[in-house]
Chain A
Amino acid sequence: GENVEQHPSTLSVQEGDSAVIKCTYSDSASNYFPWYKQELGKGPQLIIDIRSNVGEKKDQRIAVTLNKTAKHFSLHITETQPEDSAVYFCAASKGTGSYQLTFGKGTKLSVIP
């Protein structure tokens, strides 16, 4: 089945700096890649997603890039703020009859004021 590797497991950045989290997937049939943010005591919150027919997607300070050939995708957060501190999860799905998400192990992001 699909395997998603995520790194780093922890990341500390100064407020205002950028943060990058990387994921690789194993199944070349995967075509949908969402990113979720999970705060303490809450469920995962979808922050951005990308499909395999697109190489990059941006939403204000957040961007995701996808390299299908290398089977990896990355989350970029610019101008980080303390409220960006949370655990971030990447995920992959094959779609077309197999929509369950396979998640990475998560990255704990700490933004230091």
Chain B
Amino acid sequence: DSGVTQTPKHLITATGQRVTLRCSPRSGDLSVYWYQQSLDQGLQFLIQYYNGEERAKGNILERFSAQQFPDLHSELNLSSLELGDSALYFCASSPNPDQPQHFGDGTRLSIL
């Protein structure tokens, strides 16, 4: 158990809908990262937050957004969902950006 908690574990929805994925980092970790894992693209970095502020952006679509709250949990919002958004979404956390990242068990998103 990495100590990173992601909810829900599974999410099934339809095209055009909006969903919110939640991540609670390990106790004491200030930095949160979101990754997408798909069969064709592999594991890809989406976005990073540190102590509430956005620090880095990767291949994140404009339809996706995220935030980190004062209690350090983070949410990833996906809107106008398309079939191609079906993937595993992982959250990782670290004490600060220069420390190793530990991953949660992910949210499996299925778009029907």
B-contacting residues of A (Cβ < 8 Å)?
34, 36, 41-46, 49, 89, 91, 95, 97-106
Contact B100 A46 (CB under 8 A): yes
Report the nearest B residue to A106, measured CB to CB. B42
What are 9 of the A-B contact pairs (CB < 8 Å)? A34-B100, A43-B4, A43-B105, A44-B103, A100-B33, A100-B48, A100-B58, A101-B33, A102-B45
Main secondary structure of the interface of B (DSSP, over half): strand
Report the nearest B residue to A46, measured CB to CB. B100
Q: Which residues does chain A contribute within 8 Å of B103, judged by CB atoms?
A: 36, 43-46
The residue from B45, B105, B106 contacting A100, defined by CB atoms under 8 A apart: B45
The total number of A-B Cβ pairs within 8 Å is 55
Q: How far is the CB of B17 from chain A (nearest CB, A)?
A: 25
Q: How far is the CB of B100 from chain A (nearest CB, A)?
A: 5
Contact A89 B98 (CB under 8 A): no
Q: State A100–B106 Cα separation when bound (angstroms).
A: 17
Q: Which residues does chain A contribute within 8 Å of B35, judged by CB atoms?
A: 101
Q: How far is the CB of B86 from chain A (nearest CB, A)?
A: 16
Q: How far is the CB of A42 from chain B (nearest CB, A)?
A: 5
Report the nearest B residue to A93, measured CB to CB. B101
Contact B56 A89 (CB under 8 A): no
Q: State A34–B56 Cα separation when bound (angstroms).
A: 19
Q: A43-B106, A98-B56 are in contact. Are A103 and B98 (CB under 8 A)?
A: no
Q: State A95–B99 Cα separation when bound (angstroms).
A: 9
Q: Which residues does chain A contribute within 8 Å of B104, judged by CB atoms?
A: 43
Contact A99 B43 (CB under 8 A): no
Contact A46 B56 (CB under 8 A): no
Contact B48 A99 (CB under 8 A): yes
Q: In this complex, which of A36, A49, A95, A104 has the most chain B Cβ atoms within 10 angstroms of its Cβ?
A: A36
Report the nearest A residue to B58, measured CB to CB. A100
Q: How far is the CB of A97 from chain B (nearest CB, A)?
A: 8
Q: Which residues does chain A contribute within 8 Å of B31, judged by CB atoms?
A: 99
